[in-house]
Structure 1
Amino acid sequence: MSHIDHTHDREASSWIDGADEHPDFPVQNLPLGIFSLGDGQRRVGTAIGDSILDLSGLSRDRLLPDSVRPALETGTLNALFALSSAERQELRHGVFASLTDRTSRVALLPHLYPSQHCTMHLPFTVGDYTDFYVGIHHATNIGRQFRPDNPLLPNYKYVPIGYHGRASSIRLSGTPVIRPKGQHKPSYSDLPGYGPTYRLDYELELGVWIAGENALGEPVPISKAGSRVGGLCLLNDWSARDLQAWEYQPLGPFLAKNFLTSVSPWVVTAEALAPFRIAQPARPEDDPAPLPYLFDATDQAEGAFALTLETWIATRKMREAGMPPHRLGTGPATSMYWTVAQMVTHHTANGCNLMPGDLLGTGTISTPDPSGLGSLMELSQGGKAPVTLPDGEERSFLEDGDELILSARAVRDGFRSIGFGLCSGVVEAART
């Protein structure tokens, strides 16, 4: 795992105007992403305050370590995350030094652009995507709606559950959410029908971007799995609950999930998150201990993240009336039953090879009480208890024109807080 160093000093200050006060991107963060200007050329950049620093341009001008230069010229982050953690750390140190040393100002200014003048792109070419189910409160809440007496299936506390998602429909925050069509079987009918989903939902998740590569047939031991976590983002696994209820047996999610998965544009790196690693919450005494291949004392001591997650909604009527988004919930990322390292180890336990830029979703993260439920399926109790919004509108599930927004902040005493930016999408009507 990454270690705390001078780049995490809460007193460190950047010469970029407004960066020190920025809620998400002070100099202690330095997230990585892909952006372009009017020429369309994709470049590697880092967010600093309300600006983006062009790392590809800095590298061409020989202002960054030579070891990372080829990886900064490819237009994606895949090559950069194929490098060692030490090489990415060297890049972070170099960028941090330039942004905190005013004598670097003249050299850096030609490579600094206002964020509003830049277009963000998907940070990786995503080869594979797996969505897990490690939010135990979400799993319990959903299971209780179908199995009141036994909400969690017997395997849940022994194995990190996951399914193979669709990489081709992963898109950047802001991509419209086209209401999907598919088969669903209403409770009042003996036969299924085909049409647009009427139970469209969101799922509040973290995305885990993979660094490095293990050869096919070579599992990643739990003691080394943390090194395979390159960084985190926000992830919304948009879900059509009525399609899901009809199609998921016996092989799991299909059209209910693969129409769109949204991710936030910035990768908050493992190096930036080092101060926010905390102990994984202890399991209840009567829960089984993880099997030996999934247990590591260091991972249990610092495998969780001190993150606060939030979900917000802004309906079309709210936006037209100039109303701010309404917060649906907030809660900690420590509601995950399994750590990200355990996810990585189990994913590779059969010899599956994970590649740089592969994406893992945590599954929906919910609180044990209604304050931070990560889906409308939970908030509305499957549609039985609609959520009332500030303007009097009600929502059981998402309607056309609704905007759903995810946000996250890392907060810990003694350190400068950092954020993830936003992950959002506006629902549009189904295509004819």
Structure 2
Amino acid sequence: MIGVPHVASYYAASANNTVEREPLADHISSDVCVIGAGYTGLSTALHLAELGLSVTVLEAARIGWGASGRNGGQIVNSFSRDIDAIEKVVGKERGKMFGEMAFEGARIIKDVIHKYHIQCDLKHGGLFAALNSKQMQHLTAQKKLWEKHGHVDQLELLDGNDIRLCVNSERYIGGLLDKSGGHIHPLNLALGEAAAVESLGGKIFENSAAIRIEQGANPLIVTAKGSVKAKFVVIAGNAYLNNIMPELQAKSMPCGTQVLTTEPLSDDLANHLLPQDHCVEDCNYLLDYFRLSADKRLIYGGGVVYGGRDPANIEAIIRPKMLATFPQLTGVKIDFAWTGNFLLTLSRLPQVGRIGGNIYYSQGCSGHGVTYTHLAGKILAEAIHGQATRFDAFSHLPHYPFPGGHMLKVPFSAIGAWYYTMRDKLGG
């Protein structure tokens, strides 16, 4: 059986298990049908299966085919907009709830890894790196904000000397170390979570795109060769929905980010670049992010392509960024380069909701999805199981349309990104 392959990434080349699941070729029933086998869908399915519900997952391509199997592999706490920005929208009382949830996604990931013995190269420690004094002030405020919401004994401010013990680069004047952050092999995490779902009786079908959803008391999800009748549906396609629910795509936009991976580095060079083996992201609006793989490659990502098109030459975009950070890598060979889409919302806050009484969705992580998606899966499972307090908190976040509608949201967003890029370069 040959279906849609994973993108030719380092992650696909080093995946633990590449066995394809059979496509759906029957008419079956299930308590819940989840559309999408990325982190949102897999986390939802796993939490539902742990609650004793029967779950069927439909994946249009392969498990972790989208952002869940292509991302930078960094476990970063909070949301794409931080707790203080959310508090301004929802008020202080409900803001406390978001503060409590801001650090839960990372805990869910680590709990799942340990509970189901998932081999995904988990490493601890994540670093936010400041390129100028204004960014350092932001990190100082971020530390106070996170500690205010209970994230204590995990954060350490680093000055210019301290950060060089973590990142051997002249670019950074300081940083903030989050000891509860970390990094993983993202595709192997997704594959391990899929195996965990199946170990609890859940069913996963690959190469089984949902063609349409017939709504009603018991929705019917139709694929090319089969169907699933369910009590509840969870739509978890994010940037790869493919028009299954046009109303969900009207207020979001797919954006591409690019990643490259070097050849394996010597132990001496790898330890020279990142002595503590932490993952790193800078504080720019259009940020760079990087880390070492388990076999000592540097994985370096950055850049945004609005609208989600694939750039012609990924290496030409990312290599200059990598060399600006680590000129020590001049001449190093690039073994892999790929792109993948994440889903951007205008507010940069996730969109969570319900269509009718039994179709749930979560989308729009806005580039901050590894931890949020795992939290979202738990919250969606809670709501389906009858406890909707946290789901309601997310569902009340406003969903704004992009200015100018579908045709103009890409150029308007690109103009906004240009503004923030110039502000980053000027240190503003």
Smaller-chain TM-score range?
under 0.3
Q: Report the TM-score when normalising by structure 1.
A: 0.22
Q: Tell me which protein shows more helix as a share of its residues.
A: 2
Q: Report the TM-score when normalising by structure 2.
A: 0.22
